[in-house]
Chain A
């Protein structure tokens, strides 16, 4: 794994028989039908050990849906057989009424406008509305997806929620060692948090905000100190 900083428009030396491009990279053909790869956003260029997967890691706030990503969304309206869900992308996503574990035409979950959801993006195409589902498409099991009741929604930068999902990041284990908490991290910069006491939830929310590279960018010792000032 190498790390280089890259700006939009630079050409990327990605060549592989089974090339897979991640976010921020674009493949195009030159006049003489040669395939090239260029970057479309600024960030760190990463690639896998065998040079088959390439992606750019940057930080932004606006979420661009990509298939199979878990997101936290807010139901904004009913629409036909399903719901319209705000996931922070440019367009509202559509969640079908049957995309739940055990849902049938007669028996659909009852979501109100304003409900929070943990869902997976099942379809993301630049010319179409994103679509969501609340189950695993193969097994039809909920796998933790569905409505989120209680708790609180914390908004952060996209980099922060990726960090929270990374098993090596210090924040959630640190907080978990202090009190019990439940977290659902969406890749769209929204984190749902619940704990036994309101002050714990507030602590989590403030820690996430403090650690966010887009804001405070606090490190581990800083957070420990910060938690001390929060007095618990």
Chain B
């Protein structure tokens, strides 16, 4: 199966030259993100996130299980993500590609290992019953920067999800249907966001935030930074690519700090709007 051809020489030259003048093909500034568009589904924890034409669907559901013997007081979170050729013809079915490995690991680090969700709050009855949250990431279309989009969709799904209220009477667990008692949001420590910067071979070209597909293909290195609005870094991932000076890395982190605050505001606002619209039907 032949791989899709790499971008042609004129495309490459044009992109490099216009980036040198800080012009991007979609008219953005070099450090401007595409505005995220969230579509919330009928169920809680069903979020479609779109950055331009990149689209990712995140779906979160919870069920009760017996906890693992090693951690009887903690809930379980599993993340399923797979990049199928549906997202872009760059991906092949079967063996996981480098991109897929990076994305799976990054999602794991950003959403699970950064302690964004208070796992202990997912415990219902110690050693007996805990919540098992299962997040499924479906990559619908890749038009560049799939990673940030997937992380964003995932974290928003966690924020959007509400689990049914449960009550423990002795050894018995009573689950209240959402129509009886309002479901409760997950208890979260913080909300990490991921930002990817692309660097180019020419040292005079400024780095760009949120690369498009072509920009990503032609970039000489990516750095992904995940952090929350409280200025706490969760993940930095720069594997290979052009070597950067320490100042460049720190500069990128500084920019990400500002963007995280901005994005946090947007996400919170959108979630509030959605929740207001929902209250009517739940009663």
Contacts and interface: CB of A to CB of B under 8 A. Distances in A.
Contact of A201 (B5, B14, B27): B14
Of A114, A149, A151, chain B has the most CB atoms within 10 Å of the CB of A114
Contacts of A92: 2
Given A150-B10, A150-B14, A152-B10, A86 B5 contact: yes
B17 interface: yes
Interface string A130-163: 0000000000000000001111110000000000
B255 interface: no
A20 interface: no
B48 to A, nearest CB: 18
**Chain A interface residue count: which class?**
20 to 34
B2 A151 contact: no
Interface in A166-221: 192, 198-199, 201-202, 205-206
Interface in B17-41: 17-18, 21, 23-27
A76 B17 contact: no
A219 to B, nearest CB: 20
B8 A150 contact: no
A152 B24 CA distance: 13
B10 A198 contact: no
Contact of A116 (B10, B18, B24, B26): B10
B26 A206 contact: yes
A230 B27 contact: yes
Interface string B121-139: 0000000000000000000
A157 to B, nearest CB: 13
A115 interface: yes
Of B2, B8, B14, chain A has the most CB atoms within 10 Å of the CB of B8
B14 A152 contact: yes
A198 B9 contact: no
Contacts of A198: 14, 17-18, 21, 23
A153 B27 CA distance: 16
A112 interface: yes
A153 B11 CA distance: 6
A93 interface: no
B25 A205 contact: yes
Given A74-B5, A74-B8, A76-B5, A150 B27 contact: no
A150 B27 CA distance: 20
Contact of A148 (B6, B10, B18, B26): B10
Interface of B is mostly: loop
Contacts of B5: 74, 76, 86, 114
Nearest to A201: B14
A176 B215 CA distance: 27
B43 interface: no
Given A76-B5, A86-B5, A92-B2, A202 B10 contact: no
B12 interface: yes
A150 B13 contact: yes
Contacts of A199: 18, 21, 23
A63 B6 CA distance: 18
A114 B13 contact: no
Interface in B80-121: none
Nearest to A199: B23
Nearest to A74: B8
A202 B21 CA distance: 12
A111 B14 CA distance: 18
A68 to B, nearest CB: 24
A92 B2 CA distance: 10
A153 B17 CA distance: 14
A81 to B, nearest CB: 20
A152 B11 contact: yes
B14 A115 contact: no
A108 B163 CA distance: 69
Contacts of B25: 202, 205-206
A64 to B, nearest CB: 17
Of A112, A152, A199, chain B has the most CB atoms within 10 Å of the CB of A152
A147 to B, nearest CB: 10
- The 3 lowest CB-CB distance pairs between A and B, nearest first, are A198-B18, A114-B9, A152-B14
15 contacts: A86-B5, A92-B2, A114-B7, A114-B12, A116-B9, A116-B11, A149-B10, A152-B11, A152-B14, A152-B15, A153-B11, A199-B18, A199-B21, A202-B23, A230-B27
Interface of B: 2, 5-15, 17-18, 21, 23-27
